[in-house]
Amino acid sequence: MILEEFRALEPPTQAAFHRLARQSGFELSGIAPAMPLADFSLFRQWSDLGYAGPMGYLLDHRGDIREDPRQLLPSARSVLCLGKLYNTIDIPDPAVSRYAWGAEDYHDTLRCALTSLVDNLRSLWGPFESRICVDTAPLLERSYARRAGLGWIGRNTCLINQQQGSWFFLGEVLASIELPPDSPPPDRCGSCRRCIDACPTQALVPAATPSGYALDARLCISTLTIEQKGPADPALRAATGHHLFGCDICQEVCPWNRRAPSTAEPGFQPLNAAPDLDEMAALPPDEFRNRFRHTPIHRARHSGWLRNVATAMGNSADPGHRPALERLAAHPDAAVAEHARWALAQPAPHTEGDQ
């Protein structure tokens, strides 16, 4: 029996990897060599300019590990790059970034799919060493995905696939098997500036990168509503608009997303796209945990969520939110109270009857 199983093994091939990747639920797949990339110097330039903002975890003692994936797995020879679509039906005027609409944490969904893929590859090829990465490991994910042919890195700094757009989660398997790499595609942003011009906070800034732009996370609405601890810069609050968690504007305006396909993945279906502001303002900590603990929204924490709710209420100029804002203005968290007071001080909307 052992001899029969041994004879049934196949030599590792590109085609088999791509086939099993699709069977494991990934729409995009590609192979990059497990070698350093020139993009690491761009990451260093970006961090030296302070563009990481409050995301200090990107710059801690693990920062230099990003230079070489073999620091994560010494035996690595290939980086198997995968993309899983999270686009679903369009929701009018969502307040939450599309990747957080669902009832599940995408980390769990991707890790499960990647584990299944590795098991299937081992069944076909035999044992090999591996390490699964789902955006929490110090790896230049977009750069390896570009090198593996999944897409190019656009001016909005997202990975864009010509056929399927940019609504993808990325995951990787560092593998001790050496496979022929795929080829990176050409940059197809052309002269388009829609993402740059549409950004309310002008977070896409000129930079010495292949696209000519980089993300200054200190200005990004996603950073302000997710990563920012404490009060946000008053000068940026109005520009965050109705956003409660993240922002998709630079992807929504991208022409390559016009015909983006959608997924039937149950955990990604829209559930939390546009929560009611008054309901959220009254949400106690335990209910916040129960409702969002298995979703990305939990990352904002209860106090950050209420701070964002207060900001959105102020930007709505809806006088009906005033009772909720008055309660939030007395909240024990200083940032929540400050944002609520700011919201209460916003001018009422002008109407035709005003003189």
Average the pLDDT over 48-69 and give the result. Answer: 91
Mean pLDDT of all residues belonging to the chain: 94
Q: How many whole angstroms separate alpha carbon 55 and alpha carbon 300?
A: 13
Confidence band (pLDDT; 50, 70, 90) for 350? low
Above 70 in pLDDT, residue 196?
yes
DSSP code of residue 245: B
The H or E element spanning position 103 is none
135 as an active site residue: the answer is yes
Choosing from 64, 90, 108, 135, which is the catalytic residue? 135
Interval 153-173: pLDDT, tens: 999 999 999 999 999 999 999
Q: Which two tokens stand for residue 334?
A: 């200083």
- Residue-level pLDDT at 90: 86
> Is the pLDDT confidence value at 216 over 60?
yes
pLDDT of residue 6: 45
3 state SS of 206? strand
Residue 355 reports pLDDT greater than 60: no
Residue 203 above 60 pLDDT? yes
pLDDT over 90 (residue 353) = no
Q: Supply the pTM of this predicted model.
A: 0.93
